[in-house]
Structure formats: structure tokens, C-alpha cells
Structure 1
Amino acid sequence: MLLIPYEGDWTISLRRGRRAQDACTHAHGLCAGPGVGSLRELLGVIGAYEWRRKSVEMPALGGNRIHPHYGVFSPVHSEYVDLVAETKLPAGDTAFDIGKGTGVLSAVLARRGVRRIVATDQEVRAVDCARDNAARLGLADGIDVRHALGTVA
């Protein structure tokens, strides 16, 4: 495992160190102090930062974009999104999006006219991501994003 040293503000002495510093701050928040991290983790953090920064175009949302956060599945394969966008919806004005990740399915349902969506996830990063995306798309009023605590076996 290749380890990369960083300073107390996520500064990394590499050619593209500034991008890595921004990515680490987005993924992990403020740095607690100098340390080392694996190159594999750093590459994952940078990749996730680029997905969030550039976003993912969603044809099912009329070309609007979803901004995945670090640690949240990026909806790059939109087959399941298209399925929700095209499937006949049952009667009713409430839907549940369990394990909602970026919130893309909640957004599709809201755009299709579902008036109330309860979206849950066990991951705090996914909750923050879905709230951020709902707000960016102007759909926050109809999507109730909740942190669902898992059970211990």
C-alpha cells in the first residue's frame, strides 16, 4: 500500500496537490492534523470530488444534473432511473424511496407529480447528498429526507 503524507490542512506535496486538498476537505471536512493516507483512498476522494463538481446529467430529469457526494453511489448507469421514470405509478400521492443515495429516484418521482416522497438512508453522507440535490432541483418541499438508523443484530 502506497501512503501519501499530508499536512494539517490536507495539503499534499504533489503537482495537483490543490485539487487533492479541495477534494479531501469536501470528503472529510477539516483536517485534524498531519498524517498519512493511502493512495487508493486519495484517488477515490478525488474521483468523488470530480463527480460532485461536474455532476451527472439525468435525462429522466429533463437534463438536470445530480451532484453525488463522496461515499454515495453515482447514478452513472441510468437504467433503473429510466425504469422509475417510465413505469406506471400506482394511485396515491405518497412514495417511499428507501436507500435513496443521491435522491435521484425521489427527484424523478417528484417531477412525475408524486406530492410527498419520504426518502431514507442509513448513511449520513447520502442524507446530506439527497437534501442538497433536492434543493438544487427546487424539489425540497416535496421530498422528506430522513436518516434511518439501522438495527443491530
Structure 2
Amino acid sequence: MLDEKRIKGHHLVPYLRNQDVQWGRINTIGLPEMDIVPEEMDRYSVSQGDLLVCEGGEVGRAAVWRGPDGVFGYQKALHRLRPVSSDSDIAEFMYYSLIAASVCGTFQEGDTKSTISHLPAEKFRTYRFPYPRLWPFPGLGGSAARRRERR
């Protein structure tokens, strides 16, 4: 939860919460606002192609940011994964990897099969996910984007 006392109203931007990120889609309507000072805007805002992953609730639930232009922040209960290179990194691949991990029970603990209640960054980093080599598959990112647009 955002600390209301820290909101001063000087640099307000809408921000995304855990509940706004659903599998494959992100709500941008009726968002609350928070202060992000200009020098921290890159660190605490989302850009086209970022993958947002829920830390709590349904752990690992994710969506790629394809939202409207403008500045949107995100709550610390979300992980923001930003492709290092737009030429070789495909956020959609990681999105589908997270779906597979969720379906296979990767985010369940122990014999009781209870879902992990939180997935802090330190724990998230311990998981290993596949990483595609694009070399034999040029244009893979474009075809994924075209399939997404047809929906």
C-alpha cells in the first residue's frame, strides 16, 4: 500500500497496482496517483514493452505494458522487467514462460502445494527461465506482436 503521507501533489502520476495487472492485460482506468520526482521518473515508471509481474496475490501473474502514452508509475508490489535490448529481448517470451511456470506449479511451495504468498525480487532472481536465441529465428518478436494485435 502506498503511504498517503508521502503524497505531496507536486509530481503526481497515475500508478499501476497489483490488482491492475492481470494475465495479458493491464487496467489503466481510474488509477490512483503518486508523486514521482523527475530525477526518479525512469526508475519508477513503465515504458512500452516492459513486463510487469505481480509479487503478491497470484504470484507471477504478468502482462506486457502496451498502455497509452504518458507517464505511469508502478507500485512496489510489482516487478518491472525491462528488455535490455529491443533487438534481441522479447518480453512476450518471458510472459509465456511465466504462464507455463504458473501452470506447472513453479510458484508453489512444499508438499502442501500452497502458493507462495509473495515473490520478492531476491526470490524471483533465484528462478531460472528459458531465454530464446533469436539468431535462427529472425522476426520472432514481430510475429508475436502481430498475433497479439489480432486478438
TM-score of the two chains, using structure 1 as the length reference: 0.27
Structure of greater relative contact order (alpha carbons < 8 Å, 6+ residues apart): 2
Q: Rg larger in 1 or in 2? A: 1
